[in-house]
Structure 1
Amino acid sequence: MHDAIFPLLLAGALLACSPARAGQRTARRPAELVLRSATVITMDDQRPRARALALGGGRILAVGSNREMQKFIGDNTRVVDLNGQAVLPGFIDAHGHFLGLGRSLMQLELGECRSFDQVVERVAAAAGQARPGEWILGRGWHQERWQKQPATLAEEMPLHHELTRASPANPVYLRHASGHAALVNQAALQDAGITASSRDPAGGHIIRDNSGHPSGCLLEAAMEPVEAAYQKWWHALAAAEREARLRRAVDLASRTCLRQGVTTFSDAGSSFEEIDFLRRLARAGQLRLRLWVMIGEDDAAIESNIANYRIAGEGNGRLWVRAIKRYADGALGSHGALLLEPYSDRPDTVGLALTSAAKLERSARLARQLGLQLCTHAIGDGANRMVLDVYQKVLADLPDPARLRWRIEHAQHLHPDDIGRFAELGIIASMQSYHCVSDGPWVERRIGRQRAAAGAYAWQSLLASGAHLAWGTDTPVEAEDPLAGLYAFVTRRLADGSRFHPRQCISRLQALRAMTIEAAHADGLERQLGSLTPGKRADLVVLSADPLSVPEADIPRLRVLATLVDGRPVWRTGKISW
């Protein structure tokens, strides 16, 4: 195998599902569904606007005027008048954690907690109902959101003692909002074998109290022993219970996405075991939206097993596996993002490298050899530079490296010298707009105003340089909410009404492109998805009003009225009669 495989696979997919050019129609036949009297925003440059569209056989048959669609109406065609409501391509979340989203809805929700005391209260309530030995899981806490700080801290993080008193017998494992740190109790530390004599692992940090004992806060790779202990407990459950919990997670995640108009979800790293489960659902016709999955296994496992995991549209185009996920650093909130210069509020550290350049290069060469996309998490300017350097080295002899669709996930904080390199190297910037407004209140404390102004969430600068920008949510880190993401893109407005370095705002059309056709491009699926073009799959969303023309302040008040996948409604409100 060699680096031509991905382009060949992509070409095959395009030929298998090549849409007609905009303005053309597929062979005329009666439509199953015609939507008319709508504000159709196609994301197709050749016909950006229309009033109606015809759908049939899971495809878009035609786009045009009400009169033009009349010829597609047969005896059995369902016709829906939308009275000016907006129709767009279904949103494509180019970066999130699908099973993580579902699981988060089955765990303690800690994002609303405004103090560590509130976190402890929720843990105590859960411990009172837990079975002996059952793990208590939670997610979403963020120390920067706490209005009241604990009396005793270690490296700005709380100690485990209150969690241990709240749950003395059940292990407690609470992931930070970023997913890159965790608070645990003594039972979890014990199960994980983490003691005062434990050393910091490469790419991780065990925060300790004044006596040198683990405080209960673990950063990055230091969480791995806890995760392993939890997985041991998980795999000891009966197979039927594990299956039921996974199905529940998929159901909750699917409902959340479809309710928000998301028709394709790009999962940022799943194990082979999880992919096997999703494949069973796809084959059984039980995936309600499309999943595009990055493999989250090590190089040796991928090289040994990739023949079984080249999945191209299984289950009527519902499951795709064509990429590798890697991590270069951690998160800014936990001081884990790798910076070129020390943190402004922690001058003793530049963050954590979760891999070395040499190790990432080995993964990159494997991805090229196997014809897979490479998607690397990089948040700090130091991590982004390392990833760009590795990509440049591995792709140097290719005349058109952009055809491989390699990506940097997050690309949150860039040195100005590196912004133009994305376009030069053909690297896609896969970014999450809501991170800007969620993190904005404390970003300058971490990196200072000058660095923030020069390269924090540099959407406009990246687009101006010619880079491809794809949108995602990183859910469950942030809510699965495309319209909140759109508002963040165009305003960068924080909760207090201020705007975070607004010169990096982008237009509504640029934002919607990042959420549709550019996200499809990032997944290598732009000839099948991402625009309302005849011949493409009929994945679309109906909104209450035109997002390109409503007053800016009304963007967050837009509502998803219906979501269609393969031309069939999979979610709708009672405001539309089908």
Structure 2
Amino acid sequence: MRLRKDKLWCLSISLLFLAACSTPKTPSATLLIHGGPIYTVDSTQAMVEAVATKDNKILFAGSLAEAKSYKNQDTRVIDLKGKTMTPGLIEGHGHFMGLGYNELNLDLLNTTSYQEIVDAVAEAVKTTEPGEWITGRGWHQSKWTEMPADTVKGFQTHHRLSEVSPDNPVYLRHASGHAGFANAKAMEIAGVQVMAKEGNTLEIEGGEVMLDALGRPTGIFNERAMTLITQHIPESTPEKNTKAFDLAVAACHRNGITGFHDAGIGRQNIALYEEMKAKDRMKVRLYAMLTGWDKELLNEWYENGPFVDPDNLLTIRSVKLNCDGALGSRGAWLLEAYTDRPGHFGHETLPMNFVKETALNGLQYGFQVCSHAIGDRANREILDRYETAFAELPDAANDHRFRIEHAQHLHPDDIPRFAELKVIPAMQAVHMSSDRPWAIDRLGEKRIKEGAYMWQDLLQSGVPIVNGTDVPVEPLNPIASFYASVSRKTLQGTPKGGYEPAQKMTRQQALRSYTLDAAYGAFEEDIKGSIEVGKLADFTIYTQDLMTVEEDEILDTEIAMTIFDGKVVYTK
């Protein structure tokens, strides 16, 4: 009898042990965040009280009471104290190393006159050895408060710049990146002398050199003519590249950016990014587009196939094509001539047959194609080439997610084609804020109202919009782009009611364009872009609720904290 009782006792202990082992243990959170509005961009629950993360993944999103069950003595708790949190913001179109180099070289984004540029170069000359290049970026003649007395086709001439820098070659890129301004020394090194006896432009394939009435270069090099100068600028050093990379990462963190679509990189940047990742310095998620200028590079990648990073840090699966210029430099390719330059239609900077060829290769080898197009003709021509490629390879075009970068000015007939062809417009709302006051001079009122910055029409047609800043064309600040998205105003708050207000985004649309829709534009909506269990723990925290504050207070919003990969990487 005693033996039987002992067996029963052992059996009971075993059953209790098995029951204990089979009871799921609540995982412990690395991080618990609560105490303010948390917008998830998740359609099943738009807002939550708390978020718990485990290492670099989201463990829970919901009520604070439930979230506390994931907390133990090792969990770090962040009390928002009324501040607001969203998924980590994604810069949907920018130039990563351009961002870093803008902090190393002359930053001319805030200059308001030619004289300010001359003064900035004069200061740089004081600390630069004779013969050493001085470079910078950011000037935009259409944003100046005053124009110099001597201009050619609306642009300044080099003489005042050359006077303050006789012994240093100087090259200053336009804010758009589609024109450059060189001094006499730079043109001397490049061998650019008197280029024509009459007329004031010299057309070259895909660009132009502007000349004065005597046939002398004015210093302005538009579109592909820029290479006449840039090919002579010494390559950067590895040390400078690393410094620029680190500065770009830090700038992203300050601006709440955890993901970045890098719009066009070559071999040098690929090698640098791989090195930075290997050294654990890749603290932002890069979605990089191969530059279409290097056909040999493209062919190598076609042969090897895309690289989708299992660490979600550096993914290369797209190609960037530069198909026209910008409105500011009158390089955007238009169906009708510029209103303020009769007879001029802009520039086709890349042959359209190469767009079709690349589209077919993209479909065949698994690469997304992202084509720069600002003018209405460039947009139409690219949509035509995409459509032809989809028709030729229909089985490969099921989920192509081809993009048009900027899609800034569209013919009304082409607006519905984006949805019909499932082409994603990657548009930078802040361009409207900066460009709209003078863009009407380029296009005239009718074209502006019917086809420029058509956000709401595109959204209503059924396509997502990928937002961003095109940094360093514009500052990286996502708050400015968010404000432009919902207000259609300049950053000075004009005009009352906004430009073409029917095209405003709602705040929900604007937030989604910087998060989930941006992730979708990179095939990454399953791992980021919204606060959902299992997704990456990337978050942006703001000093106030940009979803509810008065419109005129949105620009007062600042980034309070950035969390990347489950770790706090920036605190204001």
Q: Is the TM-score greater than 0.5?
A: yes
- State the match for 1:229 in structure 2: 232
Counterpart of 1:267 (choices 257, 262, 285) is 262
Counterpart contact for 2:560–2:571, Cα < 8 Å: yes
- State the match for 1:182 in structure 2: 180
**Alpha-carbon deviation of 1:234?**
2.1
- Per mean C-alpha deviation after superposition, the further-off stretch among 105-114 and 373-382 is 105-114
- State the match for 1:277 in structure 2: 272
- State the match for 1:205 in structure 2: 208
The residue identity in structure 2 corresponding to 1:247 is T
Say whether residues 1:111 and 2:109 are aligned partners: yes
- State the match for 1:10 in structure 2: none
Counterpart of 2:294 (choices 277, 294, 298) is 298
In structure 2, the CA distance between the partners of 1:101 and 1:402, relative to structure 1 (3 Å rule), is: farther
**Alpha-carbon deviation of 1:367?**
1.8
SS of equivalent to 1:312 = coil
- State the match for 1:9 in structure 2: none
- State the match for 1:340 in structure 2: 335
**Alpha-carbon deviation of 1:307?**
5.2
Q: Deviations over 1:315-357 (max 9, x none)?
A: x321111111101100001110011101111112011111222
- State the match for 1:247 in structure 2: 242
- Per mean C-alpha deviation after superposition, the further-off stretch among 355-364 and 446-455 is 355-364
Counterpart contact for 1:63–1:534, Cα < 8 Å: yes
The residue identity in structure 2 corresponding to 1:403 is D
SS of equivalent to 1:200 = strand
In structure 2, the CA distance between the partners of 1:152 and 1:351, relative to structure 1 (3 Å rule), is: same
Say whether residues 1:352 and 2:353 are aligned partners: no
- State the match for 1:39 in structure 2: 37
In structure 2, the CA distance between the partners of 1:526 and 1:77, relative to structure 1 (3 Å rule), is: same
Q: Deviations over 1:15-60 (max 9, x none)?
A: xxxxxxxxxxx98410011012231110110111100010112000
In the aligned structure 2, how far is the partner of 1:141 from the partner of 1:380?
21
Report which of the two structures shows the higher radius of gyration computed on alpha carbons: 2
In the aligned structure 2, how far is the partner of 1:464 from the partner of 1:401?
23
Counterpart contact for 1:254–1:289, Cα < 8 Å: yes
- State the match for 2:419 in structure 1: 423
Say whether residues 1:409 and 2:420 are aligned partners: no
- State the match for 2:15 in structure 1: none
**Alpha-carbon deviation of 1:306?**
4.7
Counterpart of 1:497 (choices 472, 490, 494) is 494
Q: Deviations over 1:161-195 (max 9, x none)?
A: 22221111211000111111111011211222323
Say whether residues 1:513 and 2:512 are aligned partners: yes
- State the match for 2:438 in structure 1: 442
Q: Give the 5 Å matches for 1:146-185.
A: 146-185=144-183
- State the match for 1:329 in structure 2: 324
SS of equivalent to 1:330 = coil
User: RCO greater where, 1 or 2, for CA within 8 Å and sep 6 or more?
Assistant: 1
Identity of aligned residues (%): 39
SS of equivalent to 2:91 = strand
- State the match for 1:532 in structure 2: 531
Counterpart contact for 2:266–2:294, Cα < 8 Å: no
- State the match for 1:48 in structure 2: 46
In the aligned structure 1, how far is the partner of 2:361 from the partner of 2:105?
36
**Alpha-carbon deviation of 1:127?**
1.4
Say whether residues 1:312 and 2:308 are aligned partners: yes
- State the match for 2:219 in structure 1: 216
In the aligned structure 2, how far is the partner of 1:400 from the partner of 1:66?
45
Q: Deviations over 1:139-170 (max 9, x none)?
A: 11111122222221111111112222111121
In structure 2, the CA distance between the partners of 1:309 and 1:564, relative to structure 1 (3 Å rule), is: farther
Q: Which runs of 5+ in 1 are unaligned?
A: 1-25, 236-241, 574-578
The residue identity in structure 1 corresponding to 2:138 is G
Say whether residues 1:120 and 2:115 are aligned partners: no
Counterpart contact for 2:286–2:314, Cα < 8 Å: yes
- Per mean C-alpha deviation after superposition, the further-off stretch among 405-414 and 187-196 is 187-196
In the aligned structure 1, how far is the partner of 2:86 from the partner of 2:376?
35
Counterpart contact for 1:91–1:264, Cα < 8 Å: yes
In the aligned structure 1, how far is the partner of 2:77 from the partner of 2:175?
44
TM-score in terms of structure 1 length = 0.91
**Alpha-carbon deviation of 1:252?**
1.3
Say whether residues 1:478 and 2:474 are aligned partners: yes
**Alpha-carbon deviation of 1:452?**
0.3
The residue identity in structure 1 corresponding to 2:542 is L
Question: What is the root-mean-square deviation of aligned Cα atoms in Å?
Answer: 1.6
**Alpha-carbon deviation of 1:111?**
2.3
Say whether residues 1:96 and 2:94 are aligned partners: yes
**Alpha-carbon deviation of 1:401?**
3.3
In the aligned structure 1, how far is the partner of 2:135 from the partner of 2:290?
24
Counterpart contact for 1:427–1:468, Cα < 8 Å: no
In the aligned structure 2, how far is the partner of 1:27 from the partner of 1:436?
52
In the aligned structure 2, how far is the partner of 1:41 from the partner of 1:293?
28
Say whether residues 1:461 and 2:464 are aligned partners: no
**Alpha-carbon deviation of 1:312?**
1.8
The residue identity in structure 2 corresponding to 1:374 is V
**Alpha-carbon deviation of 1:305?**
4.5
Aligned length: 539
In the aligned structure 2, how far is the partner of 1:306 from the partner of 1:245?
31
- State the match for 1:76 in structure 2: 74
**Alpha-carbon deviation of 1:254?**
1.1
In the aligned structure 1, how far is the partner of 2:192 from the partner of 2:387?
39
The residue identity in structure 2 corresponding to 1:84 is G
Q: Which runs of 5+ in 2 are unaligned?
A: 1-23, 197-201
Counterpart contact for 1:328–1:354, Cα < 8 Å: yes
The residue identity in structure 2 corresponding to 1:223 is M
TM-score in terms of structure 2 length = 0.92
- State the match for 1:12 in structure 2: none
In the aligned structure 2, how far is the partner of 1:429 from the partner of 1:27?
46
In the aligned structure 2, how far is the partner of 1:401 from the partner of 1:177?
35
SS of equivalent to 1:549 = coil
SS of equivalent to 1:311 = coil
Counterpart contact for 1:309–1:321, Cα < 8 Å: no
The residue identity in structure 2 corresponding to 1:522 is G
In structure 2, the CA distance between the partners of 1:554 and 1:56, relative to structure 1 (3 Å rule), is: same
In the aligned structure 2, how far is the partner of 1:196 from the partner of 1:305?
42
The residue identity in structure 1 corresponding to 2:183 is N
The residue identity in structure 1 corresponding to 2:206 is G
Say whether residues 1:394 and 2:395 are aligned partners: no
Counterpart contact for 1:401–1:425, Cα < 8 Å: no
In the aligned structure 1, how far is the partner of 2:381 from the partner of 2:302?
26
Counterpart contact for 2:306–2:367, Cα < 8 Å: no
In the aligned structure 1, how far is the partner of 2:25 from the partner of 2:256?
29
In the aligned structure 1, how far is the partner of 2:540 from the partner of 2:254?
10
The residue identity in structure 2 corresponding to 1:346 is R
